[in-house]
Amino acid sequence: MFQKFWQFLAALGINFIPAGGFFFGGWSAGTTLGVYWFENVAASLLIALRIVLHRRLAPRQGHIHYEPRQGTSKGNGSLLAYFLPISLIFSFAHGIFLAAIFLVLTARGHGAEVELNGRELLQGCELMLAVLATNFLIDLWSLRQRPFAWIECLTAVNLSRVLLVHVTIVFGLAAAAFTGMNKAFFGLFIGLKTLSDLAGLFPRWNPAVPPAWLCRVMDKLPKAKAGETFAEYFSRDQVEELARRARNEKPA
One-letter-per-residue 3-state SS of the chain: CHHHHHHHHHHHHHHHHHHHHHHCCCCCHHHHHHHHHHHHHHHHHHHHHHHHHHHHHCCEHHHHCCCCCCCCCCCCCCHHHHHHHHHHHHHHHHHHHHHHHHHHHHHCCCHHHHCCCHHHHHHHHHHHHHHHHHHHHHHHCCHHHCCHHHHHHHHHHHHHHHHHHHHHHHHHHHHHHHHCCHHHHHHHHHHHHHHHHHHCCCCCCCCCCCCHHHHHHHHCCCCCCCCCCHHHHHHHHHHHHHHHHHHHHCEC
Give, in order, the Cα–Cα distances in Å from 47 to each of 31, 102, 190, 224, 251: 24, 29, 22, 36, 21
- For the stretch 38-59, pLDDT in tens is 998 999 999 999 999 999 999 9
Reported as a pLDDT band with limits 50, 70 and 90, residue 144 is very high
| Mean pLDDT taken over the chain | 83
Reported as a pLDDT band with limits 50, 70 and 90, residue 61 is very high
Q: Provide, rounded to the nearest whole percent, the portion of the chain with pLDDT above 90.
A: 32
The pLDDT, as a whole number, for residue 248 is 94
- For the stretch 152-181, pLDDT in tens is 999 988 888 888 777 766 666 666 556 655
Q: How many CB atoms lie within 10 A of CB 234?
A: 17
pTM, to two decimals: 0.84
Reported as a pLDDT band with limits 50, 70 and 90, residue 203 is confident
- For the stretch 67-100, pLDDT in tens is 988 655 555 589 999 999 989 898 888 888 777 7
Contact yes or no for 161/43 (Cβ under 8 A): yes
